[in-house]
Amino acid sequence: MSSVGTPDPNSAWLADDELAEIRRRLPLLYVEALPVRTDGLGRVVEVGLLLRASTSGAITRSLVSGRVMYGETLRDALFRHLEKDLGPMAFPQLPASPIPFSVAEYFPFPGQSQYTDPRQHAVSLAYVVPVTGTCEPRQDALELTWMPTADAASKSVLNDLEGGRGSLVLAALASVGAL
């Protein structure tokens, strides 16, 4: 990340070299969200998965995710990443309580956990978030695919998710009674 103009003296952002050094020494806190569409009774009927190009150039499916900045509430981090990935007209319905359906711990090497991230040790608080508006992916997301819950739980879709996130999608669907 390069800085343009006058740097913010209270910025919670890190330069690339600072982030790389911190990732080598400390676990980082993330939020992850599975965007869903619900029917009139609040039942999950569709799941939204992002399509992204990985650092290795492979096209993979992903959840909305990102770091929690210093001094940022979980609610604010969740909203920021939902808006960043889905666009400002997505209208996410954040939970009344910031209690996640799961806590996922990612390790840079396989075997320690079902979740891996080759860049770092990270702890992620995972949420299911209903979205009522129009989603237009931004940032590094290529598209958002809405699919019925049964399709999202299929082996072919779950295998497209990196780092064990297929297990996280299954846990998300189970947490809302959609399996």
For residue 29, what is the DSSP state?
A: E
User: Residue range 165-169: average pLDDT?
Assistant: 95
Report pLDDT digits (tens) over 129-163: 999 999 998 877 889 999 999 999 999 999 999 89
Beta strand 122-130 pairing with 28-38: parallel
CA 136 to CA 35: how far, in whole Å? 13
Indicate the length of the chain as a whole number.
179
CA 74 to CA 35: how far, in whole Å? 16
User: Residue range 10-29: average pLDDT?
Assistant: 77
Report pLDDT digits (tens) over 75-113: 999 999 999 999 999 999 998 888 999 999 999 988 888
Report pLDDT digits (tens) over 57-68: 888 999 999 999
The token pair at 42 is 């609040």
CA 142 to CA 49: how far, in whole Å? 11
For position 15, what pLDDT does the model report?
A: 82
**Residue partners of 52: CB distance under 8 A and separation at least 6:** 59, 60, 61, 62, 140, 141, 142
CATH number, domain 26-175, options 3.90.550.10, 3.90.79.10, 3.60.15.10, 3.30.930.10:
3.90.79.10
For position 2, what pLDDT does the model report?
A: 36
Q: Please report which confidence band the pLDDT of residue 8 belongs to, taking 50, 70 and 90 as the band edges.
A: very low
Q: Angle CA(105)–CA(118)–CA(74) in degrees, nearest 5?
A: 40
Report pLDDT digits (tens) over 27-43: 899 999 999 999 999 99
User: Residue range 50-62: average pLDDT?
Assistant: 85
93 conformational bin, left if phi > 0, alpha if psi -120 to 50, beta if neither: beta
Residue 89 near residue 77 (C-beta atoms within 8 A): no
Q: Where along the chain do its domains lie?
A: 26-175
| Its pTM surpasses 0.75 | yes
**Residue partners of 152: CB distance under 8 A and separation at least 6:** 47, 49, 169, 173
